[in-house]
Amino acid sequence: MTSAVRFQNVSRHFGAVRAVDNVSLAIAPGEFFAMLGPSGSGKTTCLRLIAGFEQPTAGHIEIFGDTAEGLPPYRRSVNTVFQDYALFPHMTVGENVAYGLMIKGVARAEREARAKQALALIKLPGFETRRPGQLSGGQRQRVALARALVNEPKVLLLDEPLGALDLKLREQMQEELRALQHQLGITFVFVTHDQGEALSMADRVAIFNEGKIVQDGTPADIYERPRSRFVADFVGSSNVMGPDFAQRHGGPASWVSLRPEAIRVSAAAGIAAPGSADGQVIGLHYQGALTRVVIIAEGTRLIAAVPSGSVSLHEGDRVRFTWDRTALVAMADE
């Protein structure tokens, strides 16, 4: 099957800086694909390479089987939604949405009709005559999305489009974007540094670091089976333990990841068996449904996430952390 987007050994250098370093990936048609990583990791540059705003220093890019390098953005079957929305303040909402169609020479009646359809799709019917300055942040985000969708792209690129929204609205838009992608069935490529967005929305996630993809897979694969210390530390909260500690407590002689929610906490009693460690509580952080319990055990700092109120704890208490051996995930030392 032809990939929606395919990178073959793609690099993009800016002088001595390797922003993208020999990246290969294949995104399936209709897939919601997230690129996740810290600032400067190469994810946004990859998005710009797909859009045509950057050209590769080396390697090959295909969009639905067609060679993309050398093609200008307007000749690619993609559209981009930017974080700052980039709406024209002097135009109405309808004119903003229809702008790309006007540039393509679509007749006025048709582009106005298609703009209305796009606004109805993103739940803003009747907003055609308003100005961007009259809209909330969430509404402007929807208009930017409608402007991209009205051109009927095969691939929709989203460059941290929810970053400017407050938490509640961002969570609402995450659900709406996911539902919209299912409804339309087109390929979404989503760039974010927010792990919660990537894990909750994407079919597949690629983790970027220093211009490379260090792991890709389903959200469950990434979270439950990190392959490296970087992925374990970056995606979610994890206890990363060294080979000596892991081996003493029932794990392999390698670096391991142990998620806080996989740990049980009880009063220390008797000799600690494999799969457990005794220590002292040095911190309690109430977070609503969960409380994060921080202890020091054998010089190692560990964190457990336990249901709030499930156990009575105070700083300074001696406690036992217990986990199933299968919860210890072996990783590479990187």
Binned at pLDDT 50, 70 and 90, residue 334 comes out as: low
> Mind listing the domains of the chain with CATH numbers?
5-232 (3.40.50.300), 240-331 (2.40.50.100)
Angle at 156 between CA 223 and CA 17, to 5 degrees: 70
- Give the bridge partners for 301, in sequence order: 296
- Going by the DSSP 8-state scheme, the letter that residue 228 receives in this structure is B
Q: Give per-residue pLDDT as tens, 40-51.
A: 999 999 999 999
Q: With contact defined as beta carbons under 8 Å apart, do 33 and 78 qualify?
A: no
pLDDT band at 25 (very low <50, low <70, confident <90, very high): very high
Tokens of 254: 């390698």
CB atoms within 10 A of CB 51: 18
Strands 329-331, 255-258: parallel, antiparallel or unpaired by DSSP? Answer: antiparallel
Residue 271: per-residue pLDDT: 67
Give the Cα separation of 7 and 22 in Å (integer). 9
In three-state secondary structure terms, 258 is strand
CA dihedral 41, 256, 260, 267 (to 10 degrees): -160
At residue 307, φ and ψ (nearest 5 deg) are: -60, 130
Measured N-to-C along each axis, helices 137-149 and 108-121 cross at an angle, to the nearest 10 degrees, of 130
Please state whether 257 falls in left (phi above 0), alpha (psi between -120 and 50) or beta. Answer: beta
Query: Look-up: residue for tokens 């800086």?
Result: 17
* Average pLDDT, integer, range 323-330: 88
Backbone Cα Rg of the chain: 24
Mean pLDDT of 261-282: 82
Q: Which residue has the tokens 């590769």?
A: 56
Would you state the structure tokens that stand for residue 214, as one six-digit string? 């260090």
Q: How far is CA 32 from CA 126, 204, 205, 262, in A?
A: 29, 7, 9, 28
- For residue 73, is pLDDT > 70? yes
Digit-coded pLDDT (tens) for 128-186: 999 988 988 888 888 988 999 988 899 999 998 777 677 777 888 888 889 889 989 99
**So what's the pLDDT on residue 7?**
97
What gap in Å lies between CA 263 and CA 322, rounded to an integer?
6
Question: How far, in Å, CA of 22 to CA of 1, rounded?
Answer: 23
Contact 45, 54 (CB under 8 A): yes
Whole-number pLDDT of residue 299: 85
Residue 149's H or E segment, with its range, is helix 137-149
pLDDT band at 8 (very low <50, low <70, confident <90, very high): very high
Is residue 20 within 8 A of residue 12, CB to CB? The reply is yes
Q: Whole-model pTM?
A: 0.89
